[in-house]
Amino acid sequence: MNKLGVHALVWEAGWSHDECSRAIARTAEVGYDFIEAPALDPGSIDVDFTRRQLEKNGIGINFSLGLDADTDISSGDREKAGRGTKRLEDAIALARDLGATHVCGILHSAFQKNAVPTTAAGVAMSVDIIGHVAEIAARSGITLGLEVVNRYESNVLNTASQAVEFCRRVNAPNVKAHLDVYHMNIEESDIASAIRDTGDYLGYFHTGDSHRGYMGSGSIDLAQVFRALVASGYEGPIAFESFSSRVVGQPLEGILGIWRNLWEDGQDLAAHALMYTRAQLKSAQETLKQAERSRLP
């Protein structure tokens, strides 16, 4: 069974005690299994307080982050790569302390618009460092999800096939592709085929829609997406990610280009996304059974 989660930015922009307790309580109230919290600044997260909120509400947590220009492990610059390694190690320690199973996002490069393509040396450095971080993560049973994002947010992993190649180069069982339907809609030729071709390399999935608002209110053929996930036997986490200028502040709204309110009520949005995701999964499972049910006597 896929664990279903929701991104913390549906609720709150930060992780103060108030924000943390509200975000976790609302995630549990709607009925999700886990919250995905940004670990952009691991030092700002009160581990003991967060653990108590998770226990009180009976849900889990996973973390996502993106590196920046100063911590870019694909830059080829040893000092930046050293800071990036430290940033990733800090996120793993935080995830370990809070019992997370997954650390995902743009772990492989800087989360930014680039003016030039990446280089072979940059990719090689990123592969080496992800391999090192994966060893540390494995000791705590944590899987790394390398998020494939659109061309305006990274110059390293823009397609699922690039992520599979990257995972093969790292060659660690806990390094997987993290696919996101919003980005796939921009970059992939065929979203469903890309999911099926990723196969066992898929380790984390972000749902949403073409405008990152309400699921099913955009232009993505989500039925095909869920059919591909179910047909390929994917059983990992599925997290709903959505952004509105109602919640997101700087610097994220600038990097992501969040200029308009796609929704006002995070509770209504999150409850709808959970219902929609469950219905899509159920429909996809029934689709698979059609072949069996259609056999001639």
User: Which residues are known to be catalytic?
Assistant: 147, 241
Closest contact distance (angstroms) between CB of 208 and Mn ion is: 7
Which CB atom, from 148 or from 281, has the smaller least distance to Mn ion? 148
Chain centroid to CA 56: how far?
Answer: 25
Cβ atoms of residues 37 and 65 within 8 Å: no
Binding segment toward Mn ion, per CB under 5 A, in 92-100, 121-129, 200-208, 275-283: 200-208
Q: Could you say whether residue 153 binds Mn ion (CB under 5 A)?
A: no
Q: Could you say whether residue 180 binds Mn ion (CB under 5 A)?
A: yes
List the beta strands (DSSP E) in 191-297. 202-207, 238-240
Sequence-distant (6+) residues with CB within 8 A of 232 are 195, 196, 198, 199, 202
Torsional sign, CA 9, 11, 14, 16: negative
**CA–CA separation, 283 vs 46, rounded Å?**
40
Closest contact distance (angstroms) between CB of 279 and Mn ion is: 21
Which CB atom, from 26 or from 206, has the smaller least distance to Mn ion? 206
Q: Could you say whether residue 206 binds Mn ion (CB under 5 A)?
A: yes
Which CB atom, from 180 or from 209, has the smaller least distance to Mn ion? 180
Chain centroid to CA 137: how far?
Answer: 17
Long-range contacts from 25-30, C-beta under 8 angstroms, 24+ separation: 25/53, 25/57, 26/266, 26/267, 26/270, 27/57, 27/59, 27/270, 28/57, 28/58, 28/59, 30/6, 30/267, 30/270, 30/271, 30/274
169, 5, 111, 126 alpha-carbon torsion, rounded to 10°: -20
Closest contact distance (angstroms) between CB of 106 and Mn ion is: 9
Residues 225-284 that bind Mn ion (CB under 5 A): 241
A 10 A CB-CB count for 217 gives 13
Closest contact distance (angstroms) between CB of 293 and Mn ion is: 35
Closest contact distance (angstroms) between CB of 126 and Mn ion is: 19
Which CB atom, from 93 or from 252, has the smaller least distance to Mn ion? 252
- Site for Mn ion (CB under 5 A): how many residues? 3
Which CB atom, from 53 or from 158, has the smaller least distance to Mn ion? 158
Closest contact distance (angstroms) between CB of 42 and Mn ion is: 19
Cβ atoms of residues 248 and 255 within 8 Å: no
Token pair, residue 177, equals 């592709």
Binding segment toward Mn ion, per CB under 5 A, in 110-118, 199-207, 255-263, 282-290: 199-207
H/E segment holding residue 144: strand 143-147
Q: Could you say whether residue 209 binds Mn ion (CB under 5 A)?
A: no
Q: Could you say whether residue 33 binds Mn ion (CB under 5 A)?
A: no
Which CB atom, from 81 or from 88, has the smaller least distance to Mn ion? 88
Residues near Mn ion (CB under 5 A) = 180, 206, 241
